[in-house]
Amino acid sequence: MGTWGPGAFDNDDALDLLDTLTEQDEARRRQTLERIFREAGEHPEDLSSFLGPGEVVAAAAVIAAGLEPGEAVAAEITGHGYDPEAVLIPASTSGLADAALDALLIAAGRDGAWLQGWVDAGTALQARQTTDRLASVFYRYQHRHEQELPLEP
């Protein structure tokens, strides 16, 4: 895999995924992303043999970009020259968002393959920040209906 940066879409696997998604209708995009998340869950200990961790992170980022708190991720897709409308799945279901978060945690969790092999500590930190930002989108989405408790007088 060619990687030139620690962003979710800064590698060849991620751009290949975006190319694939732009060629598919919404139903096929959903199937492609579901397959990636399912395979990550089925092979967490040997993720790199079945999928590139960059592909898993990018797939999770695509779902994050379609969620209400994911506007900045959608802007990253645009920044790489892709039309978000041709990549995203409108109104992603919470089940798909949950699967994306689970796969992200497999690929980029504490011992995840995404975090292995960065040349220097600064880039490794940036890669961690990328996945932390994605996870925060999912967490905000999951808790979007929770109301804050009123402050006591």
5, part of any domain: no
135, part of any domain: yes
39, part of any domain: yes
Structural domains counted in the chain: 1
pLDDT for res 150: 57
Q: What pTM did the predictor assign? A: 0.90
pLDDT for res 3: 65
27, part of any domain: yes
6, part of any domain: no
- Full domain range(s) for residue 69: 12-142
2, part of any domain: no
3, part of any domain: no
133, part of any domain: yes
pLDDT per residue of the chain (153 residues) written in tens, 0 to 9: 566 789 999 999 999 999 999 999 999 999 999 999 999 999 888 877 778 899 999 999 999 999 988 999 999 999 999 999 999 987 656 689 999 999 999 999 887 888 887 888 999 899 999 999 999 999 999 887 766 555 555
Q: What is the 3-state secondary structure (H, E, C) of the chain?
A: CCECCCCCCCEHHHHHHHHHHHCCCHHHHHHHHHHHHHHHHHCHHHHHHHCCHHHHHHHHHHHHHCCHHHHHHHHHHHHCCCCHHHCCCCCCCHHHHHHHHHHHHHHHCCCCHHHCCCCCHHHHHHHHHHHHHHHHHHHHHHCCCCCCCCCCC
